[in-house]
Amino acid sequence: MAKNEEFKQLIRLGDKDLDGNRSTYFALTKIKGVSYAFANALCNIFDLKKTEKIGNLSDDQLEKIKDAIKNPSKYKISPWLFNRQKDFDSGEDQHLISSDLKLRKDFDIKRLRMIKSYRGFRHGFGLPLRGQRTKSNFRKGTTVGVKKKGAKGKKK
Rounded to whole angstroms, the Cα distance separating 36 from 27 reads 10
18 and 71, same domain (yes or no): yes
Same domain, 103 and 62: no
Asked if 65 and 119 sit in the same domain, the reply is no
The answer to whether residues 73 and 54 touch, using CB atoms and an 8 Å cutoff, is no
CA distance 94 to 80: 10
Domain range holding 101?
Answer: 97-132
Which pLDDT score, from 0 to 100, does residue 145 have? 64
- Res. 114: pLDDT tops 90: yes
Arithmetic mean of pLDDT over the chain:
85
What does the pLDDT look like over 3-47, one tens digit per residue?
Answer: 446 888 888 888 888 898 999 999 999 998 899 999 999 999 999
Least confident span in 51-55, 130-134, 137-141, 146-150: 146-150
Q: Are 117 and 68 part of one and the same domain?
A: no
CB 73 within 8 A of CB 66: no
Same domain, 73 and 18: yes
Closest CA to 13 of 31, 40, 25: 31
Alpha-carbon distance 117 to 123, whole Å? 10
CB 96 within 8 A of CB 84: yes
pTM: 0.72
Does 89 fall in a domain? no
Question: For the chain, what is the domain count?
Answer: 2
pLDDT tens digits for 39-77? 999 999 999 998 999 888 888 999 999 999 888 888 888
Residue 150: inside a domain: no
What single-letter amino acid sits at 52? E
